[in-house]
Amino acid sequence: MSTTHFVKVYGTILDSSIWYEKDATRLLWITMLAMADSTGYIEAATPGLAGRARISLEDCEEALRLFQSPDKHSKNQEHEGRRAEKVDRGWQLLNYQDYRDMRTEAQVKRAERQARWRAGKAEKERQRVDGVDAPVDGKKATVGDVDAQRGEGRGERGDPSPTTPPQLYKGDFNIFWKAYPKRTGGNPKGHAYNAYQARRKEGIEPDVILRGLHAYTAHHEREQTIGGSTVKQARYWLSPNYRGWELDWGSNLQEPMSDLGHDPDDFFRAPK
Full 3-state SS string of 35-102: HCCCCCEECCCHHHHHHHHCCCHHHHHHHHHHHCCCCCCCCCCHHHHCCEEEECCEEEECCHHHHHCC
Q: Flag whether pLDDT at 71 surpasses 70.
A: yes
pLDDT digits (tens, 9 = 90+) for 109-158: 776 787 788 888 877 776 665 544 444 444 444 444 434 343 333 433 44
Kindly state the greatest CA–CA separation across the chain: 81
Do the beta carbons of residue 180 and residue 210 sit within 8 Å?
no
Whether pTM > 0.85 for this model: the answer is no
Q: Flag whether pLDDT at 170 surpasses 50.
A: yes
Mean pLDDT of 19-41: 87
For the ranges 49-58, 77-86, 166-175, the one whose mean pLDDT is highest: 49-58
- The Cα 111–Cα 103 span in angstroms is 10
Q: Flag whether pLDDT at 10 surpasses 80.
A: no
DSSP helix/strand/coil, 171: coil
**Whole-number pLDDT of residue 40:** 81
- Quote the mean pLDDT of the chain: 75
Give the residue range(s) of CATH 1.10.10 domains in the chain. 11-100
CATH of 11-100, one of 1.10.8, 1.10.10, 3.30.1050, 1.20.1630: 1.10.10
**Whole-number pLDDT of residue 75:** 67
- The Cα 247–Cα 242 span in angstroms is 9
For the ranges 37-46, 122-131, 156-165, 187-196, the one whose mean pLDDT is highest: 187-196
- The Cα 124–Cα 130 span in angstroms is 10
